[in-house]
Structure 1
Amino acid sequence: MTNLFALNSTHVLAGIRALLSVGKPFEKKRNLGVTLALCTALAVPGWAQAQSNVQARPADYIVAVVNSEPITNKEVQNLKLRLQKQLPPGAPSLSPQALTQQALDQLINERAQLQQAQENGIRVDDNEVEQTALSIARQNQISIEDLYKRLAIDGVSVSGFRDQLRKQLIISRLRERDVDNRARVSDAEVEQQIQSEQAGQAGSARPIDLNLAMILIAVPENSSDKEVAELKVKAQQVAQRAKAGESFAALALSFSQALDRGANGGEMGLRAADRYPSLFVESTQNLRPGEISEPVQSGAGFHILKVLDKKQSEMSSAMLVQTRARHILLRIGNELTEAAARSRLLNYKQQIQAGTDFATLARQFSQDGSASEGGDLGWASPGQFVPEFEQVMARLRPGQVSDPLVSRFGVHLIQVMERREAPMTVREQREMVRNQLREKKLEELYANWVTELRGRAYVELREPPQ
């Protein structure tokens, strides 16, 4: 049987998930300017300072220097425009100054990370960039040519797109080396977490689910006592503004220096309390939904927390949803193009809808080892198949047949036969707990890492962006 088990592409694509809606089909009218955060590097050789407030400013000029590498006003304005487009519907509007600062901070952080990667000899060749572009197209179920055409409609050139992919792959590789490898979870930690959860379920008090929003006022590494005190005062002022009734979401977008720059109003999502840093849980344990904490300090800086939701967790039944599906696979090669495979599978789908048995067509035409079983892949748990296959399968109802979809193995036609809830094995439960603990560690490690890199860089702010 073809190996449809998930390959380790998560790390490769992690750095570009904020840039593209990976794994989600493009909507016909979707504006790729919303899903692409492409920054054009326009390092100009020099700039002329305005001699007076009346004299016209040059077309472009340097607004900041990161370790001798310039960031130009045009770069900031281009990114500012894209950030503005990325704001979700209904989100509070930001002042132009807040958006400008957010764009500048994001570019400074990116420069610092790319320079660190260069110092460590991290490179990404053209072939890796091309393969990543192909993966993005496949997971969005379009051809690479269609991807480039849609980018062009939004004014994004192929070279600009590939340049940004290269940057994000380099940053992803740097993060994997410096951060991901440090997020190890021991068997003892897993066992301790399992015992803690079991004790919580056995006791009278059920576990708590929390949804918190956060504003981070970062404290750079090696800050002096005076600088720390000034940043603490700033955090207290922001907290007081939030408590006085200002929109927490708007303040997060204006002031937060967290990884998401305050996107979604700083909301971190509903999750079990033990998946938040213990500092956050302790600081909000006496707060009701809607209430805001005083600034609390961690290694990353000062955190202002708002409780969006707090409720008792549903008792875990250690169950998961499994899917039984079957497929027809056509492999792409010299004798069969992707377009021809899609056309052929569309014809099979029409035959199935007209009453032809799926299994009969699979036995006759599928080029997968499962063909002899009518394409039946058996019962599968989440994460068992490659993402591009599983994401389409997850959207199908029992009995429904997909449109042709492209994976790294070829072109597929999928039919979901049935779904069921099944108890998790001991091994699956332990692996789930391990992943949860690792995710929690990664969040904390990555936040501190970005702050440290920014703190070590020499950043000179020049003329303010306009």
Structure 2
Amino acid sequence: MTDRPFLTALALGLALLWSAAVPAQTLRTPGGLTLPSATAPAAGNRTADYIVALVNSEPVTNHEVRQRLRQVEQTIAQRNITNAPPREVLLRQVVEQLINERAQLHLARESGLRVSDAEIDQAEQNIAAQNSLSHEEFRRRLRADGYDINRFREELRQQQLLQRLRDREVDSRVRVTDADIDEYLREQKGSSGVENLELNLSHVLVLVPENASEALVAERQARAQRVAERARAGEDFAALAREFSDAAERVNGGEFGWRAASRLPDLFVSSTRNLAPGAIAGPLRSPAGFHVLKVNDKRQAGMPSMSVTQTRASHILLRPSAQLTPEAAIARLSDFRQRIAAGTANFETLARENSQDGSAANGGSLGWALPGQFVPEFEEAMNRLRPGEVSEPIVSRFGVHLIRVDERRNVQLDEKQQRERLRMVVREQKMDEALALWARDVRSRAYVEMREDPQP
């Protein structure tokens, strides 16, 4: 077993692991980019600025290593991850990951891949919205935390460039056949126990600041207790999450979605593994605060849930071109959104007249969709919307979208739909394997010169 899956999960998918326990002072970002509280090295600190390695003539500095290591360790602490490697192992993993990223960025630039300023603007706005801040408030917060805006935007650009390269190079290589699904089912048959347990939980987090007084802790505990009592009395948990939760997923009614037990805090697993769907656990105390959990569903790994939440959404798609810049597409869709909100324009009419998607003829309607049916950047924005809400313009690999959620419902999956859900599970596994092979190939073709050992 290599160390790669652990490090990949931390550095490339932190937001997917568990965003609930991030303290209020830490800004959450999509795609796994975690912002440190400050980035400037201390004056006169020699360990912050020397070169650890050269990758195709580009340096990896000790300051970058220390910063990434600090991000990883903060995430480990905040998410109560108990199976993390020792610090010296993490340090080696961080150096290797930074080398891999440099090699992949070099390949992306050589391949002519680009991420426009408009796409970075949209990514900033999405992060601000996830933190319940306006764009300007978000930037003021970054400056107050000592973060350079230009450097932040460059990190966003690199993350998006890496993702674009991986999508292009790896996605096309992955195929899932019916035989693959049958084999996966055979492997999973008869499996049981927490190592194969998957949980679909919803969550209310009542944050407790560091060094809080006993009185404040008691007040927050009482608030969480009231939430738990109201949930057990039958109140809508999603409404309680939107009203009381301090966690990012409150916009989704507190729902995490399916997570393997190994990717959830031990506190969550031990408190819910023996509960029936619909049961409430908590309040539970963690370093982040008090948690109230609802068990939506549970299953053994590889066996899809018999029910799932479907979303019926509509969209207007504009594809940037030589005649339409990304900035102009965003501005045009922003105008559409304002006109729809003011009641001077109709979403369906605008879609028929302007959308550059096959759904235009149906007023932009995409019909009922299962989770995972759309590309992540589209689905993440869609999942943050309540029925009837219209999104800000969202940039995806297909263009710029204006999204409206029309309705949601819980449905039972038939046998064909269950196999399609399994197809996505198997595809994710194959994607991980293909990504690892591809990353090793890119690394082997890069010129890497190790200079000095990093000092954490």
TM-score normalised over the length of structure 2:
0.50
Other-structure match for 1:282: none
Partners of 1:312 and 1:15 in 2: how far apart?
A: 24
**Structure 1 letter corresponding to 2:69:** K
Other-structure match for 2:448: 459
3-state DSSP class of the match of 1:32? coil
Q: CA deviation at 1:339?
A: 12
**Aligned partner of 2:383 among 383, 391, 394:** 391
Partners of 1:448 and 1:25 in 2: how far apart?
A: 32
Other-structure match for 1:150: 141
Q: CA deviation at 1:446?
A: 0.6
Residue 27 of structure 2 is aligned to residue 32 of structure 1: yes
**Structure 2 letter corresponding to 1:387:** E
**Structure 2 letter corresponding to 1:421:** V
Q: Decide which structure has the larger Cα Rg and report it.
A: 1
**Aligned partner of 2:195 among 211, 214, 229:** 211
3-state DSSP class of the match of 1:31? coil
Partners of 2:21 and 2:336 in 1: how far apart?
A: 18
Other-structure match for 2:73: 84
Other-structure match for 1:114: 105
Q: CA deviation at 1:31?
A: 0.9
Partners of 1:22 and 1:382 in 2: how far apart?
A: 21
Partners of 2:89 and 2:73 in 1: how far apart?
A: 11
Q: 1:459 to 1:131 in 2, by over 3 A?
A: same
Q: 1:58 to 1:181 in 2, by over 3 A?
A: closer
Partners of 1:439 and 1:463 in 2: how far apart?
A: 37
Residue 121 of structure 2 is aligned to residue 126 of structure 1: no
Partners of 2:132 and 2:58 in 1: how far apart?
A: 38
Other-structure match for 1:441: 430
Q: CA deviation at 1:159?
A: 0.5
Partners of 1:335 and 1:123 in 2: how far apart?
A: 22
Q: What is the alpha-carbon root mean square deviation over aligned residues?
A: 5.3
Q: How many residues align?
A: 306
Q: Report if the CA contact (8 A) 1:22-1:136 is conserved.
A: no
Other-structure match for 2:414: 424
Q: 1:339 to 1:19 in 2, by over 3 A?
A: farther
Which ranges in structure 2 are unaligned for 5 or more consecutive residues? 1-8, 197-258, 263-298, 315-329, 350-364, 395-400
Q: CA deviation at 1:444?
A: 0.6
Residue 347 of structure 2 is aligned to residue 368 of structure 1: yes
Q: 1:22 to 1:336 in 2, by over 3 A?
A: farther
Which ranges in structure 1 are unaligned for 5 or more consecutive residues? 1-13, 43-55, 213-267, 272-310, 327-331, 346-363, 371-376
1:330-345 to structure 2, matched below 5 A, reads none
Q: Report if the CA contact (8 A) 2:307-2:410 is conserved.
A: no
Other-structure match for 2:60: 71
**Structure 2 letter corresponding to 1:18:** G
3-state DSSP class of the match of 2:162? helix
Q: Report if the CA contact (8 A) 1:65-1:461 is conserved.
A: yes
Partners of 1:103 and 1:434 in 2: how far apart?
A: 32
Partners of 1:367 and 1:23 in 2: how far apart?
A: 38
Partners of 2:105 and 2:120 in 1: how far apart?
A: 16
**Structure 2 letter corresponding to 1:90:** N
**Aligned partner of 1:184 among 175, 190, 214:** 175
Q: 1:381 to 1:86 in 2, by over 3 A?
A: same
Q: CA deviation at 1:456?
A: 2.9
Q: CA deviation at 1:85?
A: 1.7
Other-structure match for 1:165: 156
Q: Report if the CA contact (8 A) 2:170-2:434 is conserved.
A: yes
Q: CA deviation at 1:319?
A: 4.1
**Structure 1 letter corresponding to 2:58:** E
3-state DSSP class of the match of 1:65? strand
